């Protein structure tokens, strides 16, 4: 018994000894872990501090570079592909905002004139610092004339944050510049569904709803299309060119790899067939693009209009109809996908004599502050953020009670690839759509003929 007690005592003492030794080891391990954690934390803090220091140095370097580039008076020459564009209009829309930040910058505006093209100006040695383009004309205006200039170095030098740009916009910028950056976006145009509240009230039909499909929209069109009191009321007008340039299927017009038109395919047929339904409704004949805005905004004879929204247009600002904006109806093939974006860029040209200053001017127009101000006027942003959606049109008396936020899609359609023949092929497609909408051709025939014609025009331009 005694031996057992001793043995047991020994075992107990051994257990106690082991427990103490285990406790020591555990405490040591814990201490090591704590020290390691502290070391890791300190290392992490040092890494974070280093990153913050790097950011601070980058910001300081950019600030120094900006101060140096902006200190002296500079006149920037800006080109617009619109013969009616004036310096006064430029200053009101863009220039004053730039000068608020860079008061030493002044501007000169060039536009095409009678017998004077952009190509002529370049041949004459005319300096152009900035040029506004979008994807439908960037090749003919910038790239074909070898005026493109990659400003990726200036993005870094002046610390411009590309991450604030809407993803589909930045993707398009990279695609257009083969991975580089030719310019910065000052805003985007979008396609929306405008509707005439007066007509819906008159005929006792509920307004278009959020989340509608195109099937729903065409059903509404049937209810609203009618002749009454000697007046023909259109249920739905679609401006095909606007929709196609920003189509929800992201279907392009031409294959950049082969330089062949891509019109005779299932996607374009789906889109043509989709909108043909609107014009096959009794009392809803096709309205050509030249008359569409007049019928909706001025005459007030159309219940719904699918079109690019032009906030500054006289017919929009001064209309007498009570109207509002609904989200663009969805395609069943692309649930949740809204309008694509037609993005406008101010590009620094290869013939600029003030490359840095031109880029700085573009950064003002691609800033949160500027684009927030533009959304208040009803213009679409090219930057990310719900703050732009919520402010759409709120700074314009005529738009204050309108749901212009519905113009900005939660999920915009991705952009499609373009090349130098975009402006040739898109015009051919416009004609094909007119033929189908007017009942002159079916979609298959019109698209087949359009692709053949587009490829013929491309071959002619290539001298083949």
pLDDT of 223 > 70? The answer is yes
60 confidence band (pLDDT: 50, 70, 90): confident
pLDDT of 8 > 90? The answer is no
CA distance 122 to 113: 14
The whole-number average pLDDT for the span 396-422 is: 94
Distances (CA, A) of 236 to 109, 429, 443: 39, 21, 19
Q: Give the H or E element holding residue 304.
A: strand 304-308
pLDDT of res. 418: 92
DSSP 3-state of 232: strand
The whole-number average pLDDT for the span 111-117 is: 88
The per-residue pLDDT for range 131-159, each reduced to its tens digit, is 999 998 999 999 999 999 999 999 999 99
DSSP tally for the chain: helices H, then strands E: 18, 13
DSSP 3-state of 334: coil
45 confidence band (pLDDT: 50, 70, 90): low
% residues pLDDT > 90 (the chain): 79
pLDDT of 265 > 90? The answer is yes
Which residues are within 8 A (CB) of 362 and not within 5 positions of it... i.e. 6 or more apart? 130, 183, 184, 186, 346, 347, 348
First to last CA, the chain: 114
The whole-number average pLDDT for the span 116-121 is: 93
pLDDT of res. 116: 87
Q: Give Cα 231 to chain centroid, integer Å.
A: 38
The per-residue pLDDT for range 11-40, each reduced to its tens digit, is 333 333 333 333 334 444 443 444 455 555
The per-residue pLDDT for range 159-206, each reduced to its tens digit, is 999 999 999 999 999 999 999 999 999 999 999 999 999 999 999 999
CA distance 23 to 29: 10
pTM as predicted: 0.84
pLDDT of res. 31: 39
pLDDT of res. 284: 85
pLDDT of 331 > 70? The answer is yes
* β-bridge partners, 308: 191
Distances (CA, A) of 230 to 152, 226, 237, 295, 333: 61, 10, 20, 15, 40
pLDDT of res. 283: 80
Strand ranges (DSSP E) for 115-178? Answer: 130-133
% residues pLDDT > 70 (the chain): 88
Strands 237-238 and 304-308 come out as parallel
List, as one string, the DSSP characters of 396-432.
SGGGTTS-GGGGS-SSPPPP----TTHHHHHHHHHHH
Sheet containing strand 74-79, edge to edge, reads 105-110, 74-79, 130-133, 342-348, 183-189
Name the CATH superfamily for 191-339+421-461: Periplasmic binding protein-like II (3.40.190.10)
The whole-number average pLDDT for the span 420-448 is: 94
- For the chain, the structural domain boundaries read 69-188+343-391, 191-339+421-461
Structure tokens given for 248: 């929800």
CA distance 439 to 266: 20
CA distance 102 to 96: 9
pLDDT of 10 > 80? The answer is no
Spelled out in words, what is the top-level CATH class assigned to the domain 69-188+343-391? Answer: alpha beta
Same-fold call for 69-188+343-391 versus 191-339+421-461: yes
The per-residue pLDDT for range 275-297, each reduced to its tens digit, is 988 888 888 888 888 999 999 99
Structure tokens given for 139: 């090749």
Please give the DSSP secondary-structure letter assigned to residue 379: P
């Amino acid at each position: 018994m005694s031996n057992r007690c001793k043995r047991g005592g020994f075992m107990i003492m051994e257990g106690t000894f082991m427990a103490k030794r285990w406790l020591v080891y555990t405490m040591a391990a814990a201490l090591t872990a704590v020290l390691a954690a502290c070391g890791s934390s300190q290392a992490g803090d040092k890494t974070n501090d280093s990153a913050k220091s790097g950011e601070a140095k980058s910001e300081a370097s950019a600030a120094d570079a900006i101060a140096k580039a902006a200190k002296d008076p500079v006149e920037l020459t800006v080109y617009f592909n619109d013969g009616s564009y004036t310096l006064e209009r430029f200053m009101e829309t863009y220039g004053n905002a730039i000068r608020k930040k860079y008061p030493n910058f002044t501007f000169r505006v060039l536009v095409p004139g009678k017998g004077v093209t952009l190509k002529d100006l370049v041949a004459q040695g005319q300096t152009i610092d900035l040029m506004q383009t979008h994807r439908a004309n960037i090749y003919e205006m910038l790239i074909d004339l070898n005026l493109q200039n990659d400003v990726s170095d200036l993005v870094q030098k002046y610390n411009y944050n590309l991450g604030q740009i809407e993803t589909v916009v930045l993707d398009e910028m990279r695609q257009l510049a083969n991975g580089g950056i030719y310019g910065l976006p000052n805003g985007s145009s979008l396609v929306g569904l405008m509707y005439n509240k007066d007509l819906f009230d008159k005929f006792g039909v509920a307004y278009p709803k959020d989340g509608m499909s195109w099937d729903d929209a065409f059903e509404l069109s049937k209810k609203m299309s009618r002749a009454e009191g000697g007046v023909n009321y259109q249920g739905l007008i679609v401006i095909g060119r606007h929709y196609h340039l920003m189509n929800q299927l992201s279907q392009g017009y031409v294959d950049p790899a082969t330089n062949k038109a891509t019109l005779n395919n299932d996607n374009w047929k789906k889109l043509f067939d989709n909108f043909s339904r609107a014009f096959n409704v009794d009392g809803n004949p096709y309205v050509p693009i030249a008359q569409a805005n007049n019928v909706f905004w001025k005459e007030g004879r159309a219940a719904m209009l699918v079109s690019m929204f032009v906030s500054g247009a006289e017919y929009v600002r001064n209309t007498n109809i009570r109207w509002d904006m609904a989200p663009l109806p969805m395609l069943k093939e692309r649930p949740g996908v809204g309008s694509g974006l037609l993005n406008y860029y101010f590009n620094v040209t290869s013939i600029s004599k003030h490359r840095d200053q031109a880029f700085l001017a573009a950064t003002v127009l691609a800033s949160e502050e500027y684009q927030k101000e533009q959304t208040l006027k009803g213009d679409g942003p090219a930057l990310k953020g719900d703050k732009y959606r919520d402010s759409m049109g709120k700074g314009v008396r005529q738009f204050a009670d309108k749901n212009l936020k519905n113009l900005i899609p939660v999920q915009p359609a991705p952009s499609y690839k373009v090349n130098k023949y975009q402006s040739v092929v898109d015009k051919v497609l416009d004609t094909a759509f007119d033929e189908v909408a007017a009942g002159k051709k079916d979609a298959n025939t019109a698209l087949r003929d359009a692709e053949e014609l587009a490829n013929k025009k491309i071959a002619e331009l290539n001298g083949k």
